[in-house]
Amino acid sequence: MNRHLFVLRVTVKDGERAFLMRTGRFERVLEPGRHAFFDPRHELGVELHNVVRAEFPADRYAVLKTARPDLAVALFEAVEASALLALPPAPFQLARWLAPRVAPDCHVNLDKVLYSVPWVHIGKRVDARVTDILVEIFCDGQLIKTWPRAERGRRTDPADYPPEKIAFFMRTPVWCRSRAEALGEHVTELVLGLLADHALHHLRAAQGIIGLGERYGAQRLDAACRRALEVGDPSYRTVKGILAVGADQQTAGGSVSAASAATPAHLHGPQGLFAHLNGDGGDGVGGDGVGGDGVGGAEAVGA
């Protein structure tokens, strides 16, 4: 490129393109060859670019693509197409990294959503990679849990809990009902009553009652459930208390045993519970201690 008086002369070689600029603004693209421009005010300028080696700056390539899209396509196919790498198998995802601490309930809080992780990491600080579709949780650089991204709520894997806690999740209300049917009629009635309303709230109590069958046997458990139903207190604590003192083994009209005398007053039924207030033995004296025939008087209440 040179100037002679008021003429600007430019030579564009093969494999080159030139941008003709006027006072810094793009005018047009110059093809290979010799070009002369009348420029009395010295307003013209020329930028030479080697298109074979793809040395266009990004901003200048944008100008070329706008002014000469056909030339931009030819440049791309000749220089860049063969150098392209294959796309990755999964699209790129923008990710955020967070550093939550694992709570005692085996969960981490990420964007107000709880995700469970294996219980061995309780109390540790972990790293969480959060994308639009996935949550990956790392501890000491090792991937320990992967969850689909959630907008709200709680995501829990029962396998993340300690072994002694997993049984609570595996023994569902359906399992409790099925097992109760195998233990006896009264066990079934009591368990069904517990699980009839707010099943998850009473699930642990139902599991506990069924577990008593392993210690005391199905026959004694069924008898204890019958007694608990008779006194109107079908709870785990009542059934366990009946079995502990042996009240389930008493028959109607039988003699009062030492175990029956030690039975708490609320297990003797409403009549036995208030017998000491009536002042008479009535049915509250000498009974079998359950279902309204209380142990009686001072002995039952603790004289």
Other beta carbons less than 10 A from residue 58's beta carbon = 6
- The phi and psi torsions of 225 (rounded to 5 degrees) equal -65, -35
Question: Any idea which of 90-104, 118-132, 264-278 has the lowest mean pLDDT?
Answer: 264-278
* Cβ-based neighbours of 240, under 8 Å, separated by 6 or more: 208, 212
* Cβ-based neighbours of 286, under 8 Å, separated by 6 or more: 256, 296
Model pLDDT, residue 233: 86
* Cβ-based neighbours of 67, under 8 Å, separated by 6 or more: 26, 28, 29
Segment 47-53 mean pLDDT: 74
Per-chain mean pLDDT for the chain? 78
Decide which of 291 and 152 is more confident.
152
Encode pLDDT of 105-164 as tens digits.
889 999 999 999 999 999 999 999 999 999 999 999 999 999 999 998 889 888 888 876
Model pLDDT, residue 281: 45
Encode pLDDT of 166-184 as tens digits.
656 667 788 888 888 888 8
